[in-house]
Amino acid sequence: MSGSELALEVKDLRTTLFLREGRVDVVRGVSFQLKQGETLALVGESGCGKTMTALSIMRLLPDPPARVTHGQVLLAGADVSRMPEHQMRSLRGETVSIVFQEPLTSLDPVFTIGDQIVEAITSHRKLQRGEAREMAVEILKEVQIPSPGQRLKDYPHQLSGGMRQRVMIAMALVLDPKVLIADEPTTALDVTIQAQILDLIRTEQEQRRLAVLLITHNLPVVSQVADRVAVMYAGEVVEEAPASEIFSDPRHPYTQGLLSSIPSAAGDHKHLYTIPGRVPDPRVLPPACLFAPRCPYALRRCWQEHPELEATVSAGHADTSTQPDRHLLRCWNPQPFTALQAIEPQEVDRRIATSE
């Protein structure tokens, strides 16, 4: 695939925290590609580096302590890694936008919705206030906010959580970017509103041929909207595949564990699988495979050699790493997806202690 068809390409990204106690890598060589009109879901437990990846792409890392220390981010072919800040500022909103989990913290409580959208427009485009206001009404209409002219006069606290998230999406899209990053966009909302917001993202994505990077720890959400899924664990991508394959044929024991711990509507909640132990502290990582302490299939090799992310043969497809439906896996001992063997949390602690 030529570089120009790609809306976003992340190459071997490493993000490091410079803390008093030393350097800690929280994103460890992450690579992925996103085409126009495609949705890639980035999933994984809390603390695995999803937000740090998103903030690295946007160049919005809290610096100090965080800094990108390796790799490249290409947005619509342009390398943003070494771009001067003023150029990056014009790309934010115009080429790439981000929507966060809690819109109340992203919206300024002392300005009206209208002021904030108009400001987002006029900081990029030389337009009269009236023209920008018209654009604001149009975009609020597009994200299905009733009486948009009236709502422009509202302050953020006067809107419901779902409406605020619609406003954030409107602000993110008003300058017609190519890439939308949505970091847990529905997590703070109740289930019915979640579904409506996902619907909205999907509709906008189709109409605008947006490339969407959807960050979530909610796998059922992923199954509704994603084309491809990248599963992150302790700062690394451990599996990446078409969404349908992640659900039908997950290869990594971590992905299998995540899927086995989803309660189904009619399911037997008592026998849900729980991945034993916790995500490792990035300051004290296992020596080779980072998932080995929690893995039901760990071998001696998993404690000795770090596995790379490599193309695997997926059912019915030829094995090449350049195919759009490629299935990538970082594992020495993948097993078919069956009932996972339970491990006691004490066993995880023992393995870490002895690093067997």
Ligand X SMILES: Nc1ncnc2c1ncn2[C@@H]1O[C@H](COP(=O)(O)OP(=O)(O)OP(=O)(O)O)[C@@H](O)[C@H]1O
Q: Which of 2, 46, 128, 264 binds ligand X (CB under 6 A)?
A: 46
Nearest in space to 312 (alpha carbons), one of 335, 340, 339: 335
Answer positive or negative: Cα dihedral of 194, 199, 202, 203: negative
Residue 99 binds to ligand X (criterion: CB under 6 A)? no
307 binds, among Mg ion, ligand X, none (CB under 5 to 8 A by kind): none
Among all chains, which residue has been given the structure tokens 């300058």? 175
> What crossing angle do the helices spanning 161-173 and 191-208 adopt, rounded to 10°?
10
6 binds, among Mg ion, ligand X, none (CB under 5 to 8 A by kind): none
Q: Closest CB to Mg ion among 50 and 151? A: 50
**Part of the chain binding ligand X (CB under 6 A), chosen from 42-50, 79-87, 294-302, 330-338:** 42-50
Asked whether 130 and 137 are in contact (CB, 8 A), the reply is no
Q: Which of 50, 59, 166, 326 binds ligand X (CB under 6 A)?
A: 50
49 binds, among Mg ion, ligand X, none (CB under 5 to 8 A by kind): ligand X
Tokens of 324: 């759009």
Nearest in space to 88 (alpha carbons), one of 110, 113, 63, 65: 63
User: Could you tell me whether strands 327-329 and 310-312 are parallel, antiparallel, or unpaired per DSSP bridges?
Assistant: antiparallel
Residue 17 binds to ligand X (criterion: CB under 6 A)? yes
The SS3 call for residue 141 is helix
**Part of the chain binding Mg ion (CB under 5 A), chosen from 45-53, 91-99, 171-179, 245-253:** 45-53
How far does the chain reach from its first CA to its final CA, in angstroms? 43
* DSSP assignment letter at 59: T
314 binds, among ligand X, Mg ion, none (CB under 5 to 8 A by kind): none
**Part of the chain binding ligand X (CB under 6 A), chosen from 45-53, 249-257, 263-271, 329-337:** 45-53
Give the DSSP per-residue string, 2-19: -GGGEEEEEEEEEEEEEE
CB of 85 to ligand X, least distance (A): 20
Q: Closest CB to Mg ion among 51 and 312? A: 51
List residues near ligand X by CB under 6 A. Answer: 17, 26, 44, 46-52, 62, 65, 217, 282
